[in-house]
Amino acid sequence: MTTETLFIALVMAVAAMFIYAALHTVQRGERPDRGRFGIVMLVLVLWLAVPAVLASRGVLGRYSPLPAPGLVLIGLITLGTVVLALSSFGSRLAEAIPLASLVGYQAFRVPLEWLLHKLYVEGVVPVQMTYAGRNFDVITGVFAAALLLWLRAGRRTVWLVAAWNIIGLGLLANIVTISVLSTPVPFRYFTNDPANLLPSTFPYVWLPTFLVQAALFGHLLVFRAIHPTRRF
């Protein structure tokens, strides 16, 4: 299978996890809220379709002069991700999904980092965006899998989950910053080739617009789940 096919498969797998979580949440209680589930599915479809269409049509291909359309789109989607995580829907997800699952879900970052390394080997992305360079996000995924087993064994260590979540969010911010500074924008810092064109290339536009957002969304839900006012 090609790297592109594997990447699309990973995107679809993460989307399927989101659909399963949303369906599980709206079916709780005696009166399932199917209308809310329909809205969530519409948001998910648009979340995937809009960046894909814009990238395929070349709308996101300009990086200079600023503002770069691709980076503006990523910023808007990030804002939407934060709003969704802090909404009542985000609250219901944090309550309905076991903490072990919220943490273990982030293990998708292990195959993602492997695919990024494959893209580096293929000459698509620069080395600093991979674990051969300055990207250490794979650590978050590895420890997510370990914490999943820890929590499912019945251990309840809130501080450990909180520490992992903070570190994981920091590592996510690190690679996002590196990726932006590797694009061919006027303020580009990493000038080695190739430039990062993933924000304007289909299907890899889904990395910053969907997979990064899925990771951010997951971290915010964990913070909500372990908040002192909530039951562990």
Question: For residue 232, what pLDDT band results from cuts at 50, 70 and 90?
Answer: very low
Per residue in 164-216, pLDDT (tens digit) is 999 999 999 999 999 999 999 999 999 999 999 999 999 999 999 999 999 99
Per residue in 59-96, pLDDT (tens digit) is 999 999 999 999 999 999 999 999 999 998 899 899 98
Name the nearest CA neighbour of 116 among 15, 228, 218, 204.
204
Residue 231 confidence (pLDDT):
43
Per residue in 95-119, pLDDT (tens digit) is 989 999 999 999 999 999 999 999 9
Per residue in 27-38, pLDDT (tens digit) is 665 455 667 778
- pLDDT of 159 over the 50 cut: yes
Between these two residues, 13 and 230, which has the higher pLDDT value?
A: 13
Residue burial 71-85, b: 16+ Cβ < 10 Å; e: rest: bebbeebbeebeebb
pTM for this prediction: 0.94
Residue 30 confidence (pLDDT):
45
Indicate the range of 58-62, 145-149, 155-159, 178-182 predicted with least confidence. 155-159
Residue 33 confidence (pLDDT):
62
Separation of alpha carbons 100 and 23, rounded Å: 18
What is the average pLDDT score of the chain? 92
Q: What six digits make up the tokens of 68?
A: 């770069």
Residue 157 confidence (pLDDT):
82
Percent of the chain with pLDDT over 90: 81
Per residue in 4-51, pLDDT (tens digit) is 999 999 999 999 999 998 887 776 654 556 677 788 888 899 999 999
